Amino acid sequence: MRLHALQYLRAVAALAVVYSHTVIQVADYQQYLTDAGSFGVDIFFVISGFIMIYIAKPSDTPVNFFIHRIRRVAPMYWFFTLLMAAILLAMPSVFKNTVFDVKAMFLSLAFIPHWSLAHTTEAWPIVAPGWSLNFEMYFYLIFAVSLFCAQRFRIAFITLVITAVFLIATVLNDGQSAIAEFFSKSLVFEFILGMLLAVAFKRGFRLPPATAAWLLLLASCVLLIKLPLPRIFEYGIPSFLVVMACLYVKIGEHRWAVLLGDASYALYLSHIFTLGVLRKFVAPHLGTGEMAAYLFVLISLIVCTLVSVVIHKYVDNWLLRHERLSWAHKETPATSKA
C-alpha cells in the first residue's frame, strides 16, 4: 500500500492554513468569513511524528539524521526569510503587520523563538508561519539525540524530554520569556501521537472493514471545530484521528494530487507573500460585501496553490537537487505491501 492519502492530506492541511490567513487579510471581509483552518499545523505535526518513525533506518546516526533534516527544511525557509527581509526593507506596505528587525531576522534564521515585533503577544519569526518550523527543528533535535538509545526506548525518551521541557516551560512562563511561552504549548505532544501511530502501523494495526477508515475520517473532521480546550485536545486528537484514517482509506494515485502534496511545504511558506500581493492589488478591485469576500478567498486559494507549484518545481527542487518526500510516491520494501 502506498500512502497516497497521507500525501494528499499534506496538501489539504496546507490549504487549510492558507484559508486561515486569507480570511484575515481584508478587514471588510472578515465579518462574512468563518475563522478556521489553523488545525492544518496540527495535522502536519502528527504527520511529521509519523514520518520520522516510518522512515527511520537502523543505520541512522544522530549527526547524519539532523543534517539531513536541516537540509530538507532549512533551505526553503531561509530563502523566504531573506526574501521577507528584503521586501520589508524595500516595500514594507506589502505586508499587513510584519516589520523588519535585524535581530529578529537572525533569530528567525536560527530557529530560535522570539517575540514578534508585529504581533507582540506571539513568539513568531519574521515569516510568521515559520513558528511551526521552530517546533519541527526542536522535535528533530530530540529525535536525533534519541538515536543514541536502543530503538525500543526511543519514543519513551522523546516523550520524557518533551514532557519535561513542557512542564518546566509551563512553570517558568510568566508572559515575559518568549522561549518559555513557546515551549509551554501543548501542541508539541502531537509529534508523539504521530510516532505512536507509526509504531502501530508498522506492527500491522489495521481498521477493518475498509469503510471504517472513511467513517473515522468523517467523524474526526467534524471534531476539528473550535472548542475552549488545550490545543492538544482541541485539534491534536482530531488531527491524530484524521491521519490515522488517511492511512487506511483506499484511494488511487493521482499525479496532480501527488504534486500538490509535494508542493505543500512551498505553499505553507510562500502563501503569505502571495496573499500580501493579492490584498494590495486584487482586493481593491473586488469591492466590498459578502460575494466579494467569497471571491477573494477563492482567488487566493487558487493563486496561492499555483504559485506554490511553481516555487516547488523551480526553487525548492533547485535548493534540494531532488524531489521532496520521494518516500511517499516511490515504492520501497516498507510501502509496497499490506
Which one-letter DSSP state was computed for residue 336?
Answer: S
Q: Does 335 fall in a domain?
A: no
- Residues 57-93 have pLDDT tens digits of 888 899 999 999 998 899 999 999 999 999 888 877 6
Name 94's Cβ contacts closer than 8 Å, sequence gap at least 6.
87, 276, 277, 280
Share of the chain above pLDDT 70, in %: 90
More confident residue, 222 or 56: 56
- pLDDT higher than threshold 70 for residue 94: no
Q: Does 333 fall in a domain?
A: no
Q: Which domain holds residue 320?
A: 4-328
The structural domain count of the chain equals 1
Q: Which of 112, 160, 158 is nearest to 139 (CA)?
A: 158
- pLDDT higher than threshold 70 for residue 320: no
Task: Number of helices (H) and strands (E) in the chain: give both, helices first.
Answer: 17, 0
The confidence score (pLDDT) of residue 325 equals 42
Q: Does 336 fall in a domain?
A: no
Confidence tier at 212 by pLDDT (50, 70, 90): confident
Q: Does 234 fall in a domain?
A: yes
Confidence tier at 217 by pLDDT (50, 70, 90): confident
Q: Does 264 fall in a domain?
A: yes
Instruction: In whole angstroms, give the CA distance from residue 299 to residue 278.
Output: 9
Average pLDDT across the chain, whole number: 87
Confidence tier at 186 by pLDDT (50, 70, 90): very high
Confidence tier at 230 by pLDDT (50, 70, 90): confident
Instruction: In whole angstroms, give the CA distance from residue 126 to residue 86.
Output: 11
More confident residue, 266 or 326: 266
C-alpha cell at 289: 460585501
Q: Does 256 fall in a domain?
A: yes
The confidence score (pLDDT) of residue 207 equals 73
The confidence score (pLDDT) of residue 193 equals 96
- pLDDT higher than threshold 70 for residue 98: no
- pLDDT higher than threshold 80 for residue 328: no
Q: In angstroms, how far is the first alpha carbon of the chain from the final one?
A: 5
The confidence score (pLDDT) of residue 227 equals 66
- pLDDT higher than threshold 50 for residue 110: yes
- pLDDT higher than threshold 70 for residue 338: no
Mean per-residue pLDDT, 44-56: 94
Q: Which of 24, 145, 147, 125 is nearest to 77 (CA)?
A: 125
- pLDDT higher than threshold 60 for residue 326: no
- Residues 243-276 have pLDDT tens digits of 998 888 878 788 898 899 999 999 999 999 999 8
The confidence score (pLDDT) of residue 97 equals 64
* Rg of the chain over all Cα atoms, to the nearest angstrom: 20
SS3 content of the chain, % helix, strand, coil (to 5): 70, 0, 30
Q: Does 202 fall in a domain?
A: yes
Q: Does 306 fall in a domain?
A: yes
